[in-house]
Structure 1
C-alpha cells in the first residue's frame, strides 16, 4: 500500500512539473542588462523618431528600470551609450508584451583619446572590422587626415609640433558616428 501511494505521489508531481513547463512562456532578456547611473538611453521607433532620450538615474537591469510595455505596438530601437561602448538592441511591442530581438543587437566601441605633452594617442577596438577615419585640425584648419583599417585594435599616435601652441581637434568617424576631442598644446 505504501509503494502504491509513493508511486501515485511521484506520478502526480511529474505530471504537475510537466504541465508547468508546457505552460511557461519563454521571455528573452536583453543582452545589455547591466547599465549604470550616468549612461544615456535613446528609444526610437521604426520611422526613426526619438520617443525617449535621457540619462539613466540608477544602476541595474534595463528591463527593470524602464517599462517598455507602455509603448504603442511596433518595433523600437534602444540605444544605451556607455563610457566606452554603444549598445543597440531592437524590441518588439505587441499587446503590451515586450520581446527583445537578438538579431538586431549591435555593439560599437568608442575611440579613446589620450593627450600627452605634444602627442595625441587614439585607440579603438574594432571587432566588427569597421574603418576609422581620423581628421586633425589646428585652429579649425585641417592639418592631417587618415583612414585606418585592418586590425581588431586600431591605434595611432600623432606627434604634433610643440612650438605651435593653440586649439586642436581630433575628429574620428567610424560606424557612421562622429567622435570629437578638443585639446590644447
Structure 2
C-alpha cells in the first residue's frame, strides 16, 4: 500500500512539474525543424502555415485521426510572424510563432480558437449563427444571382443569431458570405 502511494505521489510531482514549466510555452528553437502538436484531429481536416499577411505558405489535408504531430522546416522563412492553423469542421485552431534570425519562438498565450459561423437555409429563410469568445466585427452579405441584396455589419457581438426572410417571388441562385476574424465563410443554394 505504501509503495502504491509513493508511486502515485511521484507521478503527481512529475505531472505538476511539467504543467508549471513556463519555458515550454515560450521556447526558442532552431528554425530548421519545428514540432507542432494538435489534439483531436480528424482525417480530412486542413492544416496550413500562413504568414502575417494571411498568405498561405503550406497546406495539407490531415491523413490521421487523434493526435497530430508535424515537423516543419522553417529555415527558408524571413523574419516575421507566422501561424499554423488547423481548420476543423466547426472551429479553427491557430498557433502563432515568430521567426527572428533563423530562430523560432512560439508566442506565449497566442493560441486561439475561432468558431466558424453556421449558415443554412430552410425554404425562404436564411439562418446564421456564430459563437465568439470576444466581441468581434461580423459582416453578412447575401447575393441573389450574383447581385448583393443585403449587406450588414454587426459589431460587438459574442453570439450571433440571425434569420433573414427571402422574397418568395425571387427564385434563383443565392450565396451567403459571413466574414469575421479576417476569414470568410460562404454557403450557396438555390431557392
Matched, 1:171 2:174: no
> Which of the numbers 40, 55, 67 marks the counterpart of 2:71?
67
Q: Which residue is equivalent to 2:168?
A: 162
Does the CA-based 8 Å contact 1:113-1:122 persist in structure 2? Answer: yes
Q: How does 1:14-29 map to 2 (within 5 A)?
A: 27-28=24-25
Q: Which runs of 5+ in 1 are unaligned?
A: 1-16
> What is residue 151 of structure 1 aligned with on the other side?
157
Match 1:78 to one of 77, 84, 90: 84
Aligned-pair CA distance for 1:27: 4.0
Q: Considering only aligned residues, what root-mean-square deviation do their CA atoms show, in Å?
A: 3.3
Partner of 1:6: none
> Is the 1:27–1:99 contact (alpha carbons within 8 Å) kept by the matching residues of 2?
no
Give TM-score, length-normalised by structure 2. Answer: 0.69
Q: Which has the higher strand share?
A: 2
Q: 1:35 aligns with which of 41, 48, 64?
A: 41
TM-score, normalised with respect to structure 1: 0.71
> What is the aligned partner in structure 1 of residue 126 from structure 2?
120
**Higher relative contact order by CA 8 Å / sep ≥ 6: 1 or 2?**
2
Tell me the number of residue pairs that the alignment of Structure 1 and Structure 2 aligns.
161
Unpaired runs of 5+ residues, structure 2, are 1-12, 26-34
Greater radius of gyration (CA): 1
Match of 2:111 among 96, 105, 110: 105
How much does 1:48 deviate?
6.2
Q: Is the 8 A contact 1:138 1:167 kept in 2?
A: yes
- Matched residue, 1:54: 60
